[in-house]
Amino acid sequence: MPASDFTPKEYADRLAKTRTAMATRGIDTLIVADPSNMAWLTGYDGWSFYVPQAVVLHKSGDPLWWGRTQDRPGAAQTTWMEADHLLDWPEEHVQHPDHHPYEALVAHLRDRGWTRALGVEMDNYYYSAKSHAALLDAFGQDQITDATSLVNWQRTVKSPAELAMMRKAGQLSEHMHATLRAGFRAGRPKHELVAEVQAAGVAGLPGIAGDYAAIAPIAPSGTEASASHITWNDRPLTPGEATYFEISGCYHRYHCPISRTLYLGEPPADIRRAEDAVLSAITDTFAAAKPGVTSEEVAACVYESFARAGYVKGNRTGYPIGLSYPPDWGERTISLRPGDTTPLEENMTFHLMPGLWTPDWGVAITESFVITPEGGQPLANVPREIFVVPA
């Protein structure tokens, strides 16, 4: 995600919002290990999140990028930052049994006197127990605050430039689903179809180059679809089975995930009943999803639609999306579910997930949408009805 995707003012606004949140929490220095948050603050983009790396934001001045020596040139190419703010750790510390990269970060923090009131993303995929232990050993528990999701919450309302990215991702999602519908036929090994759909997403469209998505395609069939996160296999597509595909176009790390269900032959009555409940839930949600309405009030549209059809949904029905890296395209803040009373704001973006899973089959028809004064607005246009192919 080149830093030139956004203006200097947009990056300055992001830093200011984050510093305001830091001050509220009494944090002087924030250590950001989530690559999505690193990219949002600095533009950094690279497949380097398998080793320790961070953006360090002090209460004043420009942030620091810190990572492996081998990745420093990537930071120079993708961030808006000056070279003297790009710090590294010794290459010989890569997976070393006796040294840890965070020891180098400790030295950098001491050099700058940033040793008090540290915030870290403790519940994050990319911040390890060993990393935390290095900071504890150096500075003590009293100087470390859990700052999980502090940056994530600053990302919930999207700028016009971010929405433009997500709409381009939506065009890629449309293209991928069109490729899926064209290639869905009985007897075709599923891995071949998934390969074709992924290739379409990466090849992209004129003027819209695709990127890798943060989640691999979800593509279960038949009883496999009773599980919600099965990827794919080489089994031929079979008549009498529903298959749902959860896929996303990705443009400069911004996502627009969309699920659709396809069927070989005529769907049975129970699957059609589920389809009707899901489609009604989407319509009702979009009508309700306006600024000021709470997350749980929007979620109730889904649960009530399912209850009218005689179904019970036991899981949440949506989450925020935007800029992300593997293993998740969600932003890990708001949930559309009972008990979440977060008020929605204009230009928040969500993946609405009114999926139904039974012991024998699953139906997933989902939408990525933005909150507007008129209600939820889809970020892509893909036919919602179950796509039926004669057996």
In CATH, which of 3.40.350.10, 3.30.930.10, 2.40.70.10, 3.40.718.10 is domain 3-154?
3.40.350.10
Q: What is the pLDDT of residues 126-150, one digit of tens each?
A: 999 999 999 999 999 999 999 999 9
| Share of residues in the chain with pLDDT > 70 (%) | 99
Taking Cα atoms as reference points, which of 35, 76, 83 lies closest to residue 55? 35
pLDDT band at residue 261 under the 50/70/90 scheme: very high
Q: Judge if 3-154 and 160-389 fold alike in CATH terms.
A: no
- Who's near 120: CB < 8 A, 6+ residues apart? 31, 33, 127, 132, 135, 144, 145, 146, 147
3-state helix, strand, coil in the chain (%, to 5): 40, 20, 40
pLDDT (mean) for 161-186: 98
Residue showing tokens 């999803």: 289
DSSP state of 97: S
Contacts of 208 (CB under 8 A, 6+ apart): 168, 171, 172, 251
Residues 6+ apart with CB under 8 A from 78: 1, 2, 3, 43, 44, 45, 46
Q: Give residue limits of the domains in the chain.
A: 3-154, 160-389
Please work out, in degrees rounded to the nearest 5, the angle formed at the alpha carbon of residue 268 by the alpha carbons of 264 and 272: 100
- What pLDDT was estimated at residue 95? 87
* In the predicted structure, residue 260 carries a pLDDT above the cut 70: yes
160-389 folds as: Creatine Amidinohydrolase (3.90.230)
